[in-house]
Structure 1
């Protein structure tokens, strides 16, 4: 049995492929090694994995995760996976590589992630060829759920939020400005906290123009500061994975077109395409 997993900063999507080819899907929380230790991941996996999962019978784990872009961070996740799946060969890859393989398969092109965080790359059909650092949630991550949430929170703290929206925001969350600042600057996982408010932006029907302007400006920042800095970026189609890109795809398509890129694939999650990629890879290896 093999496992393929796509891990964001908030949620991990898993697929178990049994010996007879059956696919079993399940979810756990996300494990970004910049914020989670090996011990934390082990504990969370023991609590979050299905109780009937026969972990000792898994022979291969292919895990792609947010933050898994340098060896020392990969090791945090790899050690946790090996401790849980004791008999498996564990392979750890960056979630950006998962996005590229899911969106483009064996074809070259441009791929992006717009979820809790942001990432972008060009891909040659096998590996990532160029990646502009997103700056993560404090310095960058333009266009992400966290970035959209931060824009909303700034408007709330400064009193720029339209009154009708502010009233609903208060009724929904009951958060004072001091509590917002405490959650952002003193509590763990501030990126998830900020990103959670992108749902409010999506759900807000009281002032649609206000919500749309936040998303539109966030995506324009994403293109201006990241996408347009790739050489010959207009020669590629724009392909994207992630809940934010998927949920706000109408605005995203508009901004992409305004920046001279035709839109290719925009999907919520890479897991199905990743499973297909690895099964095809396995069948090719066995030939």
Structure 2
């Protein structure tokens, strides 16, 4: 039995392929090694994996994760996976490679992630050939859920948010400015905390269309200005994108992409289905 997993900073999507070839999907929280260490990942997995999953029978785990771009970070995740799946061969890859394989397969092109965080690259059908670092939630991640969430929180705290939406925000979260500062500076996973507010905006977008459009336009414009346009000949590529933010606000993403004369390609919420197909395709070629 093998497992394929796509891990973001907020959620991990898993697919077990059993001996009969049946696909079984399940979810756990996300494990970004910049924020989650080996012991935490082990404890979380043991609590959240399905009861029917016979971990000792797994022969291979293919895990693609946010933050798994360095050997040190891959080892944090690999050590956890080896502990939980003791008899499996553990393969740890970066979530950007998962996006390339899900969006483009073995074709060259431009691939991006717009979820809790942001990433992007050029892909030649096998390897990532150019990646401009998005610098994470503190210094960059333009266009991400965290970037949008920070804008929403700033507007709420400064009183710039439309009055009705500000009241709805408080009714939903009952957060004072002091509470928000505490979450950001003193509590774990501030990126996940900020990113959660992009969903709030999506849920009420029909009631506040102008504010929603302007906020998302601001975020995606920053994504293009700080990342996309710095790829050589970027207009020659289509924008292929994976992630909840890009998918949920794909209408605005299309408007911004058109402004920068870049066509829209494949936009999906999660790469897991296409990623599984990629692995099954590769297995048939062996």
TM range (shorter): over 0.9
Q: Name the SS of the counterpart of 2:9 in structure 1.
A: coil
1:90 and 2:90 aligned: yes
Q: Deviations over 1:99-154 (max 9, x none)?
A: 00000000000000000000000000011110000010010000000000000000
Equivalent residue number for residue 235 of structure 2: 234
User: Structure 2 length as normaliser, TM-score?
Assistant: 0.99
Residue 206 (structure 1) shift:
3.2
CA distance in 2, matches of 1:235, 1:207: 35
CA distance in 2, matches of 1:49, 1:56: 13
Equivalent residue number for residue 126 of structure 2: 126
Residue 241 (structure 1) shift:
0.1
Q: After TM superposition, list the pairs within 5 Å mapping 1:149-164 onto structure 2.
A: 149-164=149-164
CA distance in 2, matches of 1:26, 1:232: 39
CA distance in 2, matches of 1:7, 1:206: 32
Residue 200 (structure 1) shift:
1.1
Q: Name the SS of the counterpart of 2:92 in structure 1.
A: strand
Q: Name the SS of the counterpart of 1:197 in structure 2.
A: helix
Residues 187-196 or 199-208, more deviating: 199-208
Equivalent residue number for residue 144 of structure 2: 144
Q: Name the SS of the counterpart of 1:196 in structure 2.
A: helix
1:260 and 2:258 aligned: no
Contact 1:148 1:198 in 2 (8 A): yes
Q: Deviations over 1:58-106 (max 9, x none)?
A: 0000000000000000000000000000000000000000000000000
CA distance in 2, matches of 1:77, 1:85: 12
Equivalent residue number for residue 211 of structure 1: 212
Q: After TM superposition, list the pairs within 5 Å mapping 1:149-228 onto structure 2.
A: 149-204=149-204, 205-228=206-229
1:32 and 2:32 aligned: yes
Residues 152-161 or 241-250, more deviating: 152-161
Q: Deviations over 1:161-183 (max 9, x none)?
A: 11111111111110001101110
Q: Name the SS of the counterpart of 1:125 in structure 2.
A: coil
Unpaired stretches in structure 1, ≥5 consecutive residues = none
Contact 1:164 1:206 in 2 (8 A): no
Residue 22 (structure 1) shift:
0.3
User: Structure 1 length as normaliser, TM-score?
Assistant: 0.98
Q: Name the SS of the counterpart of 2:93 in structure 1.
A: strand
Q: Deviations over 1:154-206 (max 9, x none)?
A: 01111111111111111111000110111011111000000000011111233
Runs ≥4 residues deviating over 2 A: none
Residue 260 (structure 1) shift:
1.0
Unpaired stretches in structure 2, ≥5 consecutive residues = none
1:244 and 2:245 aligned: yes
Q: Name the SS of the counterpart of 2:36 in structure 1.
A: coil
Q: Name the SS of the counterpart of 2:64 in structure 1.
A: strand
Q: Name the SS of the counterpart of 1:200 in structure 2.
A: helix
* Cα RMSD (Å): 0.6
CA distance in 1, matches of 2:179, 2:117: 23
CA distance in 2, matches of 1:51, 1:264: 39
Q: Name the SS of the counterpart of 1:73 in structure 2.
A: helix
CA distance in 1, matches of 2:104, 2:128: 11
Equivalent residue number for residue 53 of structure 1: 53
